[in-house]
Amino acid sequence: MEPPQTVTIPMAMHIGKPAKPIVKVGDLVKVGTKIGEADGHVSANVYSSVSGKVIKLAEHLLHNDTTTTAVVIESDGAMDVAEHLAPPVVNNRQDFIAAIKESGIVGLGGAGFPTHVKLDVDPERIDYLIINSAECEPYITSDTVTMMTRSADMAYALQTFARCLGVDKVIIGIENNKKEAIAAMKTMAASIAECSVEVKVLPSIYPQGGEKVLVYHTTGRKIEANQLPIHVGCVVINCTTVAAIGAYLKTGMPLVEKCVTVDGGAVKHPQNVIAPIGTSLDALFACCGGLVEQPAKLIYGGPMMGVTVPNADAPVIKNTNAALALTSKEAKLPKMTACIRCGACTNTCPFGLAPAAIAGAYDKKATEMLRSLSVETCMECGCCSFVCPANRPLVQTNKLAKQFLKEEKKKEESDT
Amino acid sequence: MSSLTKLTVSPHIHSGRSTKGIMRDVLISLLPVTVAGVVIFGMRALLVVAVCLLCSVGFEALFNLITKKEQTVGDLSAAVTGLLLALNLPANIPLWQCAIGAMFAIIVVKCLFGGIGQNLVNPAVTARVFMLVAFSSMTVSAFPVDAVTGATPLAAETMPSLLTLLLGNYGGTIGETCTLALLIGGIYLLLRRVITWQLPVAFIGTVFVFSLLMENLDFLRALSLVLSGGVFIGAIFMATDYVTSPPTAWGKVLFGLGAGLITCLIRYFGNYSEGVSFAILFMNILTPYICQWTRHKVFVTGGNK
């Protein structure tokens, strides 16, 4: 896309502490100039995505209802690249982790967890590196496009994983409806000699890309509630994250742009757009022919787990994989009615939970009951709410119940 | 600043399935057997259907109106109850008794317990049992137009032929005799994924195996016993009611086994010649326990750390 006139780059585009802004109003920046310094271990660097002038450091309301500082940069339209950028020297594990930390790369599948933190584990514990290429949410195809166009970057990253972390088994989990991406991944897998790379074609069933679901379907290993993939010897990384790592290792260009699926009934020409981070949704939609009608909902991510944003001023951030503008017809949800105990929720739950029973227990605030129903296992995929013929807020209640149990646990701990 | 849009929690889309849609499918699936019942038992059967339907819907509307609750007749569940009740009554039943049966099903069994989803037992089944006990007209069977006169075949010495049992031109309630039409409706419900096969198969299978053992392995006689006395309408349409049966596959199997067993125990050792309604009612009451025993195994536990 054309360089946007301004970009708004929040300092918190990841899980963890926001970065500290290191530029001031009036500073000149280029593509790849560091504008935010990671604050502590669980944090990430932030870079300018355009060349131009810093015009504002503003309070910015994030979609999770917290505020952070955002650096607003007026683009000069030139997209000049910062001169100092050079491929990092990576000879061992420490170099590799440090390089990823420097690159500002976070989990691009949607979670935004700083990648260097995820990889900073004892390499002996890693049996499998699993590349999450499932991309199971409706509408989204940005990962698919990345796999089709950036397999060389991915290959370079995987070779480095093998060299520096001693990863010997890589599994690429991908849904069977992405034929071209599967072909690209198979070609890439064959080209890698440093480790075994298996392309595992999985059924296109949401939520195939849920971390626990993917680990189970690729390795047969089960991750307990409140545990991470590394507890069962797996590291799961999204394919676009892998491509970003490869690109950084090759060129030294940090994470400054993102492939975003722009879709939804209100968008005139839905397509994937490679957008500088900080581009407003407005500019993104304009690049897709504009909006054909006033959208009823704007969503970061997919329609099953994505979050709504209040208006189209919201910027593309690091982990934005899709921007959906749903029409009122698409966004219309049926009226909630009484539960008819049909069991659709429990029969559709990938983890075999009983959402209707959980909702009942939550209404009574029955702590022990909620624990025995294993609500903490819930990955919030939303299938229960999607299938409920009475349109009950089931996954929504699960989220509340999880939060409630966390608070109860805290209370219990402070009591003892 | 561009105009504001709505903020909600995910998911932002819905499958489109609704209670009303499910109930509409059940009504459609009951159409063949309703038509068959009218053909077999005459226009009087249609009258019974009409009265039960109107009364069921009417009583629910009235109850909601008087108690100032949200009107729920639009979800079509009252219509399903009315139709199912009618299909479980003989065509010659006095119409005032139909009205009382419908009132019992809707007001006593359903609305007083909190309306749709809250009833402990199946309204149509319970109303039928109530009517069996209350009205003598229920025990003598219909006046079939061109079929065997008298009581349901279970009480009779000789059974109708298998073809007769399939087509339904013999004595019984309006909707229980034409097995063919019931099967068509059942297949429709399976294809529409309104019901699953486990409960009906377990129910019907249990009745068949039990009968086979009791009838000295007389295959034909056991088959005749399965095809008569309301086993099919009970197993496919009444026992599969969401509200009063377990949601999981194993729960459904357990429900079907129990219902089949109780049906046969009543048939062979009880005072009533027909046991399907009692069996379903009994299993309805056990359902909360079956639900607890047969919850899905959770993918991973260990949420208490």
Interchain CB distance below 8 Å, A353 and B5: no
Task: Say if residue B149's pLDDT is above 60.
Answer: no
Task: Say if residue B265's pLDDT is above 90.
Answer: yes
Q: Are residues A13 and A134 in the same domain?
A: no
CATH number at residue A263: 3.10.20.600
pLDDT tens per residue, range A268-291: 999 999 999 999 999 999 999 999
CATH number at residue B64: 1.10.3430
Interchain CB distance below 8 Å, B4 and A297: no
CA–CA separation, B238 and B232 (whole Å): 9
Q: Are residues A377 and A275 in the same domain?
A: no
Q: What angle do CA B269, B272, B277 make, to 5 degrees?
A: 105
Interchain CB distance below 8 Å, B10 and A225: no
* Chain B residues near residue A340 by CB distance under 8 angstroms: 19, 22, 77, 116-117, 242-243
* Chain pair A-B, CB pairs under 8 angstroms: 169
CA–CA separation, A47 and A273 (whole Å): 19
Min Cα separation A226/chain B (Å):
7
pLDDT tens per residue, range B68-116: 999 999 999 999 999 999 999 999 999 999 999 999 999 999 999 999 9
Select from B12, B14, B304 the Cβ nearest to the Cβ of A299: B12
In a domain, B298, yes or no: no
Give whole-number Cα distances, B32 to A109, B87, B125, B188, B196, in Å: 51, 12, 20, 11, 20
Interchain CB distance below 8 Å, A387 and B15: yes
CA–CA separation, B186 and B166 (whole Å): 14
Contact A149, A239 (CB under 8 A): no
* Chain B residues near residue A225 by CB distance under 8 angstroms: 300-303, 305
Q: Are residues A269 and A398 in the same domain?
A: no
pLDDT tens per residue, range A352-386: 999 999 999 999 999 999 999 999 999 999 999 99
Select from A225, A303, A304 the Cβ nearest to the Cβ of B303: A225
Task: Say if residue B303's pLDDT is above 50.
Answer: no
* Chain B residues near residue A297 by CB distance under 8 angstroms: 5-6, 8, 12
Q: Are residues A226 and A111 in the same domain?
A: yes
Q: What is the predicted pLDDT for the residue at A402?
A: 94
* Chain A residues near residue B10 by CB distance under 8 angstroms: 303-307, 380, 382, 395
Which residue on chain B is closest to A220 by alpha carbon? B299
Task: Say if residue A155's pLDDT is above 70.
Answer: yes
SS (HEC) of A162-177: HHHHCCCEEEEEEECC
Give whole-number Cα distances, B119 to A152, A288, B124, in Å: 61, 53, 11
Please state at what angle helix A239-251 crosses helix A142-149, rounded to 10 degrees.
40
Helix (H) or strand (E) holding A249: helix A239-251
Which residue on chain A is closest to B251 by alpha carbon? A343
- Write out the two tokens for B168: 């339904």
Task: Say if residue B1's pLDDT is above 70.
Answer: no
- Write out the two tokens for A29: 């920046």
Percent of chain B with pLDDT over 90: 77
Percent of chain B with pLDDT over 70: 90
Q: What is the predicted pLDDT for the residue at B270?
A: 85
Of the candidates B63, B76, B75, the one whose C-alpha atom is nearest the C-alpha of residue B108 is B63
Interchain CB distance below 8 Å, B11 and A299: no
Number of domains in chain A: 3
Contact A327, A267 (CB under 8 A): no
Interchain CB distance below 8 Å, A341 and B6: no
Q: Are residues A136 and A213 in the same domain?
A: yes
Select from B4, B10, B295 the Cβ nearest to the Cβ of A382: B10
Task: Say if residue B305's pLDDT is above 50.
Answer: no
Interchain CB distance below 8 Å, A296 and B5: yes
Which residue on chain B is closest to A335 by alpha carbon? B18
Q: Are residues A127 and A150 in the same domain?
A: yes
Interchain CB distance below 8 Å, A223 and B300: yes
Interchain CB distance below 8 Å, A377 and B299: yes
Interchain CB distance below 8 Å, B12 and A282: no
A56: helix, coil or strand? strand
B297–chain A Cβ distance below 8 A for any pair:
yes
Of the candidates A103, A112, A6, the one whose C-alpha atom is nearest the C-alpha of residue A47 is A103
Give the mean model confidence (pLDDT) for residues A186-193.
Answer: 94
Give the mean model confidence (pLDDT) for residues A299-317.
Answer: 92
Q: What is the predicted pLDDT for the residue at A131?
A: 96
pLDDT tens per residue, range B5-37: 788 889 999 999 999 999 999 999 999 999 999
In a domain, B10, yes or no: no
In a domain, B195, yes or no: yes
Of the candidates A150, A217, A137, the one whose C-alpha atom is nearest the C-alpha of residue A177 is A137
Neighbours of A112 (CB within 10 A): 19
In a domain, A334, yes or no: no
Min Cα separation B128/chain A (Å):
22
- Write out the two tokens for A136: 């199971």
Q: What is the predicted pLDDT for the residue at B136?
A: 77
Look up residue B12 and give its amino acid.
H
Min Cα separation B14/chain A (Å):
5
In a domain, B77, yes or no: yes
- Mean confidence (pLDDT) of chain A: 94
Task: Say if residue B66's pLDDT is above 80.
Answer: yes
Q: What is the predicted pLDDT for the residue at B116?
A: 94
Give the mean model confidence (pLDDT) for residues A393-409.
Answer: 94
Question: DSSP letters of A352-365?
Answer: ---HHHHHHHHHTT
Of the candidates B165, B229, B169, B176, the one whose C-alpha atom is nearest the C-alpha of residue B42 is B169
Select from A303, A339, A347 the Cβ nearest to the Cβ of B12: A303
* Chain B residues near residue A389 by CB distance under 8 angstroms: 17-19, 21-22
Q: Give the CA count within 13 Å in the CB-facing half-sphere of B235.
A: 34
Give the mean model confidence (pLDDT) for residues A392-396.
Answer: 96
Q: Are residues A119 and A218 in the same domain?
A: yes
Of the candidates A364, A397, A365, A367, the one whose C-alpha atom is nearest the C-alpha of residue A380 is A397
The pair phi, psi for residue A69, each rounded to 5°, is: -80, 140
Q: Are residues A142 and A206 in the same domain?
A: yes
Residue B193's pLDDT band (cuts 50, 70, 90): very high
**Cβ density class B174-205: b for 16+ within 10 Å, e for less:** bbbbbbbbbbebbebbeeeebbbebbbebbbb
Q: What is the predicted pLDDT for the residue at A109?
A: 86
Interchain CB distance below 8 Å, B7 and A308: yes
B64–chain A Cβ distance below 8 A for any pair:
no
Q: Are residues A268 and A314 in the same domain?
A: yes
Q: Are residues A21 and A130 in the same domain?
A: no
Q: What is the predicted pLDDT for the residue at A379?
A: 93
Q: Best mutation site among A342, A345, A387 for testing chain B: the one with the most B CBs within 10 Å?
A: A342
CB-count burial class (<10 Å; 0-12, 13-18, 19+) for A280? buried
In a domain, A338, yes or no: no
pLDDT tens per residue, range B210-252: 999 999 999 999 999 999 889 999 999 999 999 999 999 999 9
In a domain, B250, yes or no: yes
* Chain B residues near residue A342 by CB distance under 8 angstroms: 22, 242, 247
Q: What is the predicted pLDDT for the residue at B145?
A: 33
Min Cα separation A214/chain B (Å):
13
CA–CA separation, A106 and A339 (whole Å): 40
Interchain CB distance below 8 Å, A297 and B5: yes
Neighbours of A393 (CB within 10 A): 18
Interchain CB distance below 8 Å, A225 and B9: no
Give whole-number Cα distances, A69 to A58, A157, A175, A318, B246, in Å: 6, 32, 38, 15, 53
In a domain, B31, yes or no: yes
Percent of chain A with pLDDT over 90: 91
ipTM: 0.88
Look up residue B182 and give its amino acid.
L
Q: Are residues A242 and A138 in the same domain?
A: yes
CA–CA separation, B123 and B103 (whole Å): 10
In a domain, B205, yes or no: yes
Ranked by mean pLDDT, the top range of A65-69, B13-17, B274-278 is B13-17
* Chain B residues near residue A353 by CB distance under 8 angstroms: 296, 298
pLDDT tens per residue, range B110-147: 999 999 999 999 999 999 999 988 987 765 443 333 33
CATH number at residue A164: 3.40.50.11540
In a domain, B14, yes or no: no
Residue A368 domain boundaries: 344-415
Interchain CB distance below 8 Å, B117 and A343: no
Residue tagged 């095809």 (tokens):
B227
In a domain, A335, yes or no: no
CB-count burial class (<10 Å; 0-12, 13-18, 19+) for B88? buried
Q: What is the predicted pLDDT for the residue at B154?
A: 59
Contact B222, B165 (CB under 8 A): no
Strands (E), A284-393: 297-300, 307-309, 322-326
CB-based contacts of A83: which residues, under 8 Å, 6+ apart? A30
In a domain, A336, yes or no: no
pLDDT tens per residue, range A71-117: 999 999 999 999 989 999 999 999 999 999 999 999 998 788 999 99
Interchain CB distance below 8 Å, B247 and A343: yes
Q: What is the predicted pLDDT for the residue at B158?
A: 67
- Mean confidence (pLDDT) of chain B: 90
Number of domains in chain B: 1
- pTM for the whole structure: 0.90
The pair phi, psi for residue A130, each rounded to 5°, is: -105, 125
Q: Which of residues 243-262 of B touch A (CB under 8 A)?
A: 243, 246-248
CB-based contacts of B187: which residues, under 8 Å, 6+ apart? none
Contact A279, A323 (CB under 8 A): no
Task: Say if residue A66's pLDDT is above 90.
Answer: no
Give the mean model confidence (pLDDT) for residues B254-259.
Answer: 97
CA–CA separation, A314 and A19 (whole Å): 19
Min Cα separation B225/chain A (Å):
30
Which residue on chain A is closest to B296 by alpha carbon? A352
Q: What is the predicted pLDDT for the residue at B141?
A: 46
Select from A308, A334, A357 the Cβ nearest to the Cβ of B18: A334
* Chain B residues near residue A410 by CB distance under 8 angstroms: none
Select from A343, A377, A386 the Cβ nearest to the Cβ of B248: A343
Domain boundary among A329, A357, A392: A329
CA–CA separation, A351 and A83 (whole Å): 50
Which residue on chain B is closest to A397 by alpha carbon? B9
Domain boundary among A266, A301, A329: A329
- Write out the two tokens for A342: 């049909």
Beta bridge partners of A238: A132
Residue B119 domain boundaries: 19-293
Taken as a whole, chain A contains a residue count of 416
Give whole-number Cα distances, B235 to A31, B196, B204, B226, B238, in Å: 69, 11, 7, 11, 6
pLDDT tens per residue, range A213-247: 999 999 999 998 888 999 999 999 999 999 999 99
- Write out the two tokens for A295: 């959208």
Contact B178, B30 (CB under 8 A): no
Select from A340, A374, A399 the Cβ nearest to the Cβ of B19: A340
CA–CA separation, B231 and B225 (whole Å): 9
Q: Are residues A247 and A104 in the same domain?
A: yes
Q: Best mutation site among A332, A335, A340 for testing chain B: the one with the most B CBs within 10 Å?
A: A340
CB-based contacts of A54: which residues, under 8 Å, 6+ apart? A23, A24, A25, A26, A27, A28, A29, A35, A71, A72, A73, A74
Residue B2's pLDDT band (cuts 50, 70, 90): low
Q: What is the predicted pLDDT for the residue at B152?
A: 52
Residue B271's pLDDT band (cuts 50, 70, 90): confident
CA–CA separation, B220 and A87 (whole Å): 83
A414: left (phi over 0), alpha (psi -120 to 50) or beta: alpha
